[in-house]
Chains A and B, each alone.
Chain A
Amino acid sequence: MGRVFAVVLTLITLVSVAFFVMHTWWLPPDISTTGPAIDRQLEETLIGTGVLFLAGQLILAFFAWGASDKTPGRKMKMFPGGPTPLVTAAIVVVGIEIFTLTFVGSKAWGAIYLTPADAGALRIDVQAEQFAFYFRYAGPDAKFGAVHPEKIDDGSGNYFGLDPANDVDARDDIVAASLVVPVNRQVALTLHSKDVGHSFYVRELRVQQDFVPGLDIPLHFTATQTGKYEIVCTQLCGLGHYNMKAYLEVMSEEDYEQWLKTQAGQ
């Protein structure tokens, strides 16, 4: 029985690793300037954890094979000192692994998330709510109108709580349900949530950031390829979570300007 287990375990392990080595289910191509650093980090992490996974499973299979030897009078070898040093050693080894991954991995993350956006970045305000995303552009005056949560009224399309009657800056603000951005220009988002926790995730940008109610969270990226990509909520936010999505449309600078004009006219 031990030998059957060892063979099955080895097979499962090798097949699992093969899927990763062959990139059978892999990330879609990256379209951001910061994506390559994340992809490199992901690869390093996968190689490190993959080697440990392979080694761990094969050693387990090796011992399972050996333990199935039923020769009479054969003495079972034990870990020196019994179970206590065994568990202690395991905790230390796994602890070192996790801390190393966290420390090394956070450098790639920090280089993106802990650096401020460029001064010339295109600023867009994002409102997440059950179960949609809305995006606000400052409009021709390049100024965002102030936000008044008590004025939020989805029925009349006032998703951000603007007060155009009293606030001139708010009158030309453009609010859209799609995130439309020009290619090769840095975009600086400010994330707000109207109700509960949500998350902004675009696979192709390698960007994922939670919305936290009450906080204005900055997030920046530069898209390098035109196209239409899906923005999905990746934080369970209620009944309609599965359906909470929007589209990121990366356009040429001219198309983007044209889109802005059309929006401003509405």
Chain B
Amino acid sequence: MKQKKLLWFLAGSLCIGSGIGAGSPPPAGGGSISGKVTYTGTPPKMKPIDMSKEPSCAKQHTTPVMTENVATGPESALQYVVVYISAGDTTGAAPGEAARYDQKGCQYLPHVLPMQTGQSLQIYNDDQTSHNIHPLAKVNPEWNKSQPAGSPPIDTKYEKPEFIPVKCNIHPWMHGYFAVLSTSHYSVTGEDGSFSLKGLPAGKYTVTAWQEQYGSQTQDVTVGAGDTKINFTFKALPY
């Protein structure tokens, strides 16, 4: 995987370096930005969550679910970091398909759900118990809704960009985020910390990486026809 990315990077540099494509405009959406988010220092220990008070959820997990506020992977990778174009993106309307958020096993899946402003958001309760989802929005309108087992999904949307912490008013350990973004170019890092923003026309962009505990970092990037590599590093503290 890593090698393949490196290859793309080399191919991209070669294209720009050798002047191929100069004179003819690069095909629209040809460029991309990719890289990895890592940490330095010692991140806090994630704690196992005891769900014994909710047996229908507890029995869905063979190993304990851990807290996810600083989720890490191998080689100092940082997971659940939202990497997105924060300036320079001129692409338009929200996609037609809905962003899906699941309450399953008394956990929010995915932990961080990215979506575009105005995009439809559907929230499912897949559990045999009631949930009460409460996104703690400050810029957008705040609401909380009870969703008993077997209820139809909640269909909603957010109009303004914001990182919204989400909690369940019934199960205090449940915790996630909505990342409402005004761009369609975003990526959430996986366990390997990698991200990729594809389909970018050549130009200058500001890229922001956001982590729920460590906040935001930005980098200015000039994108050409190929893939542009950037990395983010967050400083982790044990407490």
Contact = CB atoms under 8 A, between A and B. Distances in A.
**Does B bind A?**
yes
Interface of A: 129-133, 154-157, 159, 164-165, 171, 175-178, 238-240, 243-247, 266
Nearest to B176: A155
A245 B54 CA distance: 9
A132 B146 contact: no
Nearest to B48: A266
Closest 6 CB pairs of A and B: A155-B175, A177-B50, A165-B239, A240-B170, A157-B47, A164-B239
Interface of B: 44-45, 47-54, 67, 69, 129-130, 132, 146, 165, 167, 169-173, 175, 213, 237, 239
Nearest to A165: B239
Contacts of A245: 53
B53 A240 contact: no
A157 B67 contact: yes
A252 to B, nearest CB: 20
B52 A247 contact: yes
12 contacts: A131-B172, A132-B53, A132-B172, A154-B175, A156-B69, A156-B175, A157-B49, A175-B47, A177-B50, A178-B50, A240-B169, A243-B130
Contacts of B175: 154-156
Nearest to B212: A155
Contacts of B48: 266
Contacts of B47: 156-157, 175, 266
B239 A159 contact: no
B67 A132 contact: no
Contact of A240 (B45, B67, B132): B132
A192 B197 CA distance: 48
Nearest to A170: B239
A154 B167 CA distance: 9
A55 to B, nearest CB: 45
A155 B239 CA distance: 14
Given A155-B165, A177-B53, A266-B48, A239 B239 contact: no
A239 B170 CA distance: 8
Contacts of A129: 172
Contacts of B52: 177-178, 246-247
A155 B69 contact: yes
A153 to B, nearest CB: 8
Contacts of B129: 243
A71 to B, nearest CB: 63
Contact of B170 (A155, A159, A177, A243): A243
A155 B66 CA distance: 10
A175 B44 CA distance: 16
A130 B50 contact: no
Nearest to A177: B50
